[in-house]
Amino acid sequence: LLVLGIETTCDETSAAVVARSSSGASDIRSNVIRSQIAIHSPYGGVVPEIAARAHVEILDHVIAEAMRQANLSFSELSGIAAAAGPGLIGGVIVGLTTAKAIALAARKPLVAVNHLEAHALTARLTDGVAFPYLLLLVSGGHTQLLAVEDVGRYTRLGTTLDDAVGEAFDKVAKMLSLPYPGGPQVEAQAAQGHADRFAFPRPMLGRREPDFSLSGLKTAVRLEAEKLAPLTDEDVADLCASFQAAVVEVIVDRVKAGARAFRDRLGRGPTALVVAGGVAANGAIRAALARQAAELNTRFALPAPDLCTDNGAMIAWAGAERLSRGLHDSLEVSPRARWPLDPVAAASPHARA
């Protein structure tokens, strides 16, 4: 199968062509990603209206470039996949409508992909991981532990009750006047600082349910920063280091709880611990999770950074996985701002997807 994938749910405009053989082998033929970070950084965050307009302006070029690099015409494709949500609705409409137009003109099946499902299945594209596995999804908008049991079978074991991990990094960066996006800045500062200077809280530590809560930690950083103001460079570095150390400890503990919940549910351990989402770019978090996977006696799979953050290849791959099971969608399918992966999660009071 040869599938074109389109991603426009947030601030990346991306198109890619991915091949999937009947045995499940994969090949990324192209993966063109245009980030809008420079456009949004003066505002300190993604501005939905501006994002949608930027997607409109460049998506056609991005798709043409992805097809050119793959050396293919639309008629040679097996299907067209687009992220149909969850995300910023303006951008989702742009990508899904474009995919529908191509599918209609080229008479190819359309696959409306759940963006979170695409993150969840990326480790099968990059590392050929077998079901069932334990997924930690940590991005700017989501923090979830999932049992990935099959294509279309995802059980949410835990989620954040308030902020996403990436969101907490971004907010801490903002209160310390570091530029957007804050995650990489906080990590760089943390490398210069002393993690033991501030004893920040570790919310949810030891709790049986594999849920997260980060707003208390974020508030503790704010209070400390206000107490110290005006901040020296050393204060900033120490605050970042102490914050990051707390986050690392919480994540490791929550993954442990997630592994227990996984075993309770499936009666077996996971084939792998998989991490996805932009926060997986953090070196301290990566190293701690690799150690945790070893302790759990399971494989550790971490896609390359450009496949952890939003990209078209993961959409194309999820489309190929669905097509290989005979699944596709009608041209009437609607874009969705909210679209939880797990039907049970959809009914939960703190569903965030």
Give dist(CA 289, CA 302) in Å, integer: 10
In whole angstroms, the minimum distance from the beta carbon of 335 to ligand ATP comes to: 14
User: Considering beta carbons, is residue 310 or 342 the nearer one to Mg ion?
Assistant: 310
Rule CB under 6 A: choose which of 44, 45, 184, 201 binds ligand ATP. 184
Q: Specify whether the CB–CB gap between 313 and 31 falls below 8 A.
A: yes
Give dist(CA 256, CA 267) in Å, integer: 16
Instruction: Report whether 333 belongs to an annotated binding site.
Output: no
Rule CB under 6 A: choose which of 85, 90, 258, 278 binds ligand ATP. 278
Angle ∠(284,287,292) on CA atoms, nearest 5:
125
Q: Specify whether the CB–CB gap between 251 and 165 falls below 8 A.
A: yes
Coil, strand or helix: which one is 288? helix
**Unique residue bearing structure tokens 């997924």:** 135
Site string for ligand ATP, 127-166 (x = CB under 6 A): ------------xxxx-----------------------x
Q: Does 183 bind ligand ATP (CB under 6 A)?
A: yes
**Site stretch for ligand ATP (CB under 6 A), options 126-134, 183-191, 233-241, 261-269:** 183-191
Angle ∠(249,255,260) on CA atoms, nearest 5:
130
In whole angstroms, the minimum distance from the beta carbon of 206 to ligand ATP comes to: 24
Give the closest residue to 176 by CA, choosing from 220, 231, 228. 231
Q: Does 12 bind Fe ion (CB under 5 A)?
A: no
In whole angstroms, the minimum distance from the beta carbon of 314 to Mg ion comes to: 12
Rule CB under 5 A: choose which of 238, 310, 329, 342 binds Fe ion. 310
| 321: amino acid identity, one letter | E
Give dist(CA 197, CA 194) in Å, integer: 6
User: Is the preceding peptide bond at 203 cis, omega within 30 degrees of 0?
Assistant: no
**In 151-259, where do the E strands start and end?**
153-159
Give dist(CA 10, CA 160) in Å, integer: 20
Instruction: Report whether 119 belongs to an annotated binding site.
Output: yes
**Site stretch for Fe ion (CB under 5 A), options 26-34, 152-160, 172-180, 303-311:** 303-311
Rule CB under 6 A: choose which of 79, 95, 182, 270 binds ligand ATP. 182
Residue positions in the annotated binding site for substrate?
137-141, 170, 183, 187, 282
User: Which residues in this chain contact Fe ion in the complex, by CB under 5 A?
Assistant: 139, 310
User: Which residues in this chain contact ligand ATP in the complex, by CB under 6 A?
Assistant: 10, 87, 139-142, 166-167, 169-170, 181-184, 187, 277-279, 281-282, 309-310
Residue positions in the annotated binding site for Fe cation?
115, 119, 310
